[in-house]
């Protein structure tokens, strides 16, 4: 089992970076810019490939995904070649799209070590939270993502509607599926179970966040100490990557950690407008939209202060910049046309939009922001200290001063939704994030993590200066460089000690809520127990080809397709716009012997078995009335039973 899990993680890591590196290198990206943008470009390639292949009637699989990656790499290489003919370099021979300043080799290695440390913290937090390589996510939307990954892998349908037909049949619903398309490749290549695949994709989430922040700091000419500090904070902050995972918002969490890369691509394009930088920026925007619809909206808000700073400091003209951005935006919209059309159709469709209408006091909302916690009781005090240090030294941010504006803008949006979530205009403005304060906390955490990382870097600068003033050290010319490295190591070590390993235990607690259905999980049964998984696997052996198994929407059997490949009648906990036959059977199946409408629905769906679990996603809601007390009914035979589940066969 260990080697299967390790192999699955390895396959994901290769898939995460290899396609993106190929495309990015072809477009002329190098160094940290290439490393940072690689994951986003990978999700761009897969996120665009699936829907376009579906529209062309072609299957999505490893071979066609690779072909689409090569096509995008060729596009990027062509754009780069055309651009080089026009000479994108200044008199020194340096590409003007590259970040200003330089880091030493030692600095690059130190930053890489910080990214690896953040990744290690992420791995430790997720693994200890899961409690096993095959642990099943228990939160609301995770069943949809699990079913979607298996559906794409087994059917080759990479379209934006197909995977939703597991629950919303026959037509499905729109959902951006780059996350699921990559997951399907991992599933196909690894041969692991769907829970193992989901866990493997989740493991490096904070490491991706750290890499994105490093690429951002590097692009704006920030110090290596700042970049490494930002990476450390990314691995430690609960509200950055971990809290979204805790809520089961898996594609959204991915979108959050990729969001900073939009500004990296935007900055490169504005610094040197050219066909190659335009292609990278267009691919980045399309990729963000393919990962999650709200990601592009969040990236725009995050980038606005950067544009305002650029125009205020006369680094660019408003009109000229906007004229240059418009055709790139159009190109991105064309690339992501299926996602754009799907999002517009979905927003005007019948799926209900139910705002959370949060009314947390403003003071409490601000306290949650400043202490990097929302779902945990204990504040992350030492990150707060670093945040305040970063706020008090904003002037030292240089080209990254705009981050403070992003922090104010995104934090303000969080407070609005958290404290005034029932106000109609707030509901409208926050619709891309479903009026959900947890999502907006994650978005606000991006600039807050950068400010905290800046605070840590400034503490290192102060410590270096203070120690270098000692009389015995002042005369040695080699002292400053050595002191800089030593002070950084001391501060990071002190932070690791004070936070008990960069808050790994606290973050594991937060992530564990995804595996226990929330903080109160110890008091209620989880939706999907080990015994229910065993019953679903048995159902895979008993099911007839083409049948849908009747199940209760609120218990863990919605995972049936992901676990065994057998279609359920209810493939999601969500009752919104459920198929008419599913509603009919949920309410009236007990009337099978006397109700011709029930028998007709059973025939239409090909129902031959009933599978019922014991846990529930919402324990306060009773089992559907049509599925209660089935023991002893004359048209059913119990053919399998264990402590948490039962399978009935329909007599024919």
Q: Could you list the mean pLDDT of each consecutive 10-residue stretch along the chain, which spans 652 residues?
A: 85 96 96 97 97 97 97 96 77 66 91 97 91 86 96 97 94 94 97 95 96 97 96 96 93 97 97 95 97 94 97 91 95 95 82 86 96 92 97 94 97 96 93 93 97 96 77 58 81 94 94 86 76 96 93 94 96 90 96 95 96 87 91 94 94 81
Distance of CA 281 to the CA centre of its chain: 20
Pick from 18, 338, 347, 13: which is nearest to 178 by CA? 338
Q: What angle do CA 236, 240, 245 make, to 5 degrees?
A: 105
At 351 the pLDDT is: 78
Looking up tokens 């110090």, which residue turns up? Answer: 223
The arrangement of strands across the sheet holding 567-568 comes to: 567-568, 548-551, 609-612, 646-650, 636-641
Helix 2-26 vs helix 178-190: angle between axes, to the nearest 10 degrees?
Answer: 130
At 575 the pLDDT is: 87
- Looking at the DSSP assignment, which residues form a beta bridge with residue 641? 646
At 352 the pLDDT is: 79
What Rg do the C-alpha atoms of the chain give, in angstroms?
26
CB 524 within 8 A of CB 517: yes
d(CA 138, CA 140): 7
d(CA 263, CA 36): 12
Global pTM reads 0.95
d(CA 320, CA 334): 22
At 520 the pLDDT is: 67
d(CA 176, CA 333): 14
Element holding 61 (H helix, E strand): none
Sign of CA dihedral 521, 527, 532, 537: negative
Sign of CA dihedral 440, 445, 451, 455: positive
CB 491 within 8 A of CB 460: yes
- Exposure string (b/e) for 384-409, b if CB count within 10 Å is 16 or more? bbbbebbbebeeebebbbbbbbbbeb
CB 615 within 8 A of CB 532: yes
- Looking at the DSSP assignment, which residues form a beta bridge with residue 95? 89
């Amino acid at each position: 089992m260990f080697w299967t899990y390790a192999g699955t993680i390895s396959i994901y890591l290769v898939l995460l970076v290899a396609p993106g590196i190929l495309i990015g290198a072809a477009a002329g990206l190098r160094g940290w810019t290439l490393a940072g943008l690689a994951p986003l470009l990978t999700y761009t390639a897969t996120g665009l490939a699936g829907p376009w292949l579906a529209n062309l009637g072609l299957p999505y699989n490893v071979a066609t995904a690779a072909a689409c990656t090569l096509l995008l790499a060729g596009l990027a290489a062509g754009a780069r070649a055309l651009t080089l003919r026009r000479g994108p370099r200044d008199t020194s021979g340096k590409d003007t799209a590259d970040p200003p300043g330089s880091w030493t080799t030692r600095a690059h290695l130190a930053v890489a070590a910080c990214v690896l440390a953040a990744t290690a913290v992420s791995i430790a937090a997720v693994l200890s939270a899961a409690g096993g390589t095959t642990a099943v996510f228990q939160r609301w939307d995770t069943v949809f993502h699990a079913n979607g990954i298996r559906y794409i892998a087994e059917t080759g349908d990479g379209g934006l509607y197909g995977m939703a037909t597991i629950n919303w049949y026959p037509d499905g619903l729109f959902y951006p599926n780059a996350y699921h398309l990559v997951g399907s490749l991992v599933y196909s290549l690894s041969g692991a179970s769907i829970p193992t695949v989901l866990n493997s994709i989740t493991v490096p989430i904070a490491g991706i966040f750290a890499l994105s922040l490093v690429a951002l700091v590097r692009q704006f000419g920030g110090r290596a100490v700042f970049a490494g500090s930002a990476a450390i904070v990314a691995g430690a902050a609960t509200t950055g990557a971990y809290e979204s995972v805790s809520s089961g918002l898996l594609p959204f969490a991915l979108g959050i950690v990729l969001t900073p890369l939009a500004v990296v691509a935007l900055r490169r394009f504005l610094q040197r407008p050219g066909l190659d930088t335009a292609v990278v920026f267009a691919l980045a925007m399309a990729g963000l939209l393919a990962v999650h619809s709200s990601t592009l909206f969040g990236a725009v808000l995050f980038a606005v202060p950067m544009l305002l700073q650029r125009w205020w400091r006369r680094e660019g003209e408003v009109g000229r910049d906007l004229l240059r951005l418009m055709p790139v935006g159009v190109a991105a919209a064309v690339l992501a046309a299926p996602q754009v059309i799907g999002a517009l159709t979905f927003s005007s469709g019948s799926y209900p939009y139910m705002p959370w209408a949060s009314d947390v006091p403003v003071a409490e909302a601000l306290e949650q922001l400043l202490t990097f916690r929302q779902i945990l009781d204990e504040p992350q005090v030492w990150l707060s200290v670093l945040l305040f240090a970063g706020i008090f030294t904003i002037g030292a941010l240089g080209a990254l001063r705009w981050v403070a504006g992003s922090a104010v803008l995104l934090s303000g949006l969080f407070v609005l939704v958290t404290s005034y979530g029932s106000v109609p205009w707030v509901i409208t403005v926050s619709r891309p994030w479903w009026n959900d304060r947890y999502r907006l906390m994650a978005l606000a955490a991006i600039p807050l993590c950068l400010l905290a990382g800046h605070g840590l870097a400034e503490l290192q600068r102060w410590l270096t200066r203070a120690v270098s003033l000692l009389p015995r050290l002042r005369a040695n010319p080699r002292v400053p460089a050595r002191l800089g490295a030593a002070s950084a190591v001391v501060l990071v070590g002190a932070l690791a000690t004070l936070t008990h390993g960069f808050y790994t235990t606290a973050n594991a607690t937060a992530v564990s809520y995804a595996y226990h259905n929330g903080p109160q999980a110890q008091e209620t049964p989880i939706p999907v127990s080990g015994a229910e998984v065993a019953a679903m696997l048995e159902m895979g052996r008993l099911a007839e080809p083409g049948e849908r198994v009747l199940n209760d929407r609120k218990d863990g059997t919605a995972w049936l397709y992901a676990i065994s490949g057998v279609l359920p009648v209810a493939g999601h906990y969500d009752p919104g716009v459920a198929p008419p036959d599913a509603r009919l059977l949920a309410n009236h199946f007990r009337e099978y012997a006397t109700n011709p409408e029930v028998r007709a629905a059973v025939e239409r769906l090909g129902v031959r078995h009933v599978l019922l679990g014991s846990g529930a996603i919402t324990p306060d809601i009773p089992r559907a009335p049509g599925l209660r007390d089935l023991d002893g009914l004359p048209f059913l035979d119990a053919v399998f039973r264990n402590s948490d589940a039962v399978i009935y066969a329909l007599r024919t």
